[in-house]
Structure 1
Amino acid sequence: MARPEKARRFLLYWMDGAVALLALSLSGLVVRLGVEGRLSVPHALAAEACLLGVLVPLPFLLRAAYDNRPRPTARLVLSGMAALGAVLLVPPSSNDVLGEGSWSMVAFLWLSAAVLFQPLWAALCMSAAVIVLTSAVVTVITGQPWQVVLPVQAFTAGVMVVAMWLWRWLWWTIRDAHESQEAKAGLAVAEERLRFARDLHDLLGHSLSVITLKSELAAKLATKDPGRAAREMADVRRLAGESLTEVQLAVDGYQGIDLHEELDGVCAALEAAGTRCTVEAGADDLSPGARALLAWVVREGATNVLKHSTATRCAIVIDGGVLEMRNDGVHGSPAAGGTGLRGLSERLAAVGGSLSAGPTSTGEFLLRAAVPA
């Protein structure tokens, strides 16, 4: 599971827990008022029903608001009506505004979710309207002065509304940043593939086109002019041999990549993808062939980090002929090594080296390669 998804779930589960605690507290308030005889049984049941009408849909409303930018729905409107009914059914007493008056939190709780379905200007207007209306109701019922009730209600609603906006903004920022990192990693891999494809096209495109034309010409001349057809086929064989030589030289060029240049390029790619990279390279005493093999291991290891992990850090250490590449992007059971690692393992084994890859006891993924010095 990606880190942004974990953050989203943690945030929503935390809100669910807060809603559940508030539901227990307010339900206890209704029960207490009923036991004390201050609410009749039908009155208490109606208040409890309104409370559930607000709190039960709230987790679904929050998930819809955090996943996208939704428009107001019938569920939101119905829960708002339930919140209004709850406030009217259990008004605060005239001498306990800050105690039993906490029941008005039902309206503010609905407001904190409702503003997520509105543009910013509409959310601010809605907040002001609800604050004024709720304060007016509380003032009329309790007889408390307007200047006493309004600041309390405004502060409570303001804190809840601002907190909800900030939490959602934070989640969207985390999600966008993670998607940007994935895009950068995919772009780095795609650019490498494009470079390889472009080199192959430049090397083989012209030669294969000429070979195709000469082969077709030789086929047409086979019965009319066998001598010329033979000369054309000789040219085809020569061109095929030259193309093979060019491909071998190109492969040798890829195999002859510089270790330090590869380390610099890998660090830049990982840093661009949001993975902090550290390098400790002591490979000056290695032969050119050994350095080239380690450079290939570094390139393949970095490609796998970019494509198959969510690592936040990667450490590359080269000590003599041993390379260790560690990252913290292991999630679950890793799949079997891919074609790239198998190919590298075979190449290293052919010169007396070794390659291993897998999770460690510390929760990291370790790619280890050893080459003869």
Structure 2
Amino acid sequence: MEKPFSPGNKRMLGIQILDILSRYSSKKSPLTHKQIIDKLNSQHLVTCTRSTLAAHITNFQTDEFQNIFGCIVKCDKLGKGYYLEQEFSDGELKLLIDSVMSIRSLPENDAKVLIGKLLRHGSQSFQLRTKSYTSADMRGLPNSPNQEVLASIAVITDAINNNHKVSFIYNDIALDSNKELVLHPRSKERYLVNPYRIMLYSGRLYLLCNTDPHENLSTYRIDKMSLVREEASGIKTWRDIDKAYNPPKTMLESLHMFSSDIIDIEFWIEEDCLKDVVDWFGWGYFKIDDKKDTRLLIRLKCNETAMSFWALSFGEYIEITKPKELRFRIRELAQEIYKKHKI
């Protein structure tokens, strides 16, 4: 009896034609009937007549086929050949692959598997072009050692959809007896939280949540979680989270994902640094209230702890004016830095 996926099995002819078009055709290099038939014979050991091939290609050019499979076979000029217009363009696939590579929360093996799945959506020429630099770029990337990240994301997603709490062990980075970096539990007790959203910020995946009986929102890095578990108890609604949570606004105000209060901040900064303010806080998330000489007066909302570190990174180019508590805190930090670095 002939096996369903054995070479030469014509019952798979439609899939085999799509495989040839997917791997070898492109808008710049379409395949003629003869080229497709030759590759079917060499790659899949099947013979195919022109009329049979034409019938399959006609089916692959319908809107119904595109709606179901997300791709379509096209012919830009009669007699010049056919190509498969993939669901993702080369540029879109490149963007998705680079995005996976930039997520530092993922362990290297998981990142490689995801990239491999994305590569299969591209043509053979795209795969050959992309594999070489992807393999080189993957080496030495600061990926997470936590092998539970994807499983944790799945559990958290289910818990959010089911309106259930999640519990987990939260870890810190520590040195083991061999002076190797390892994840070490921060506490023997499991954290129990009300999960609301998974957020990506600066290459790290965070869980936005609340801990009973507190009323504030907290963030935890998912790559520092282990033994994540969905609990049977229901979550507490946090002040209408769908209205309160705005992804761009939340991430800009919670710079570096610190969990302290969001406050109104006012500071003077050199005009040459305006591009840096835009890069960090985005268009429309701050106001320029005044200008004196080469300095601009900026007003915005931001996490207090994060703002203190951000301001220190700009040193003499910035002056916090409000609130006074933050101004004093930065002065104290600057004095501590001076004491440690004075000669």
Larger Rg: 1 or 2? 1
Name the structure with the higher helix share.
Answer: 1
More strand by share: 2
TM-score, normalised to structure 2's length?
A: 0.26
TM-score, normalization by structure 1: 0.25
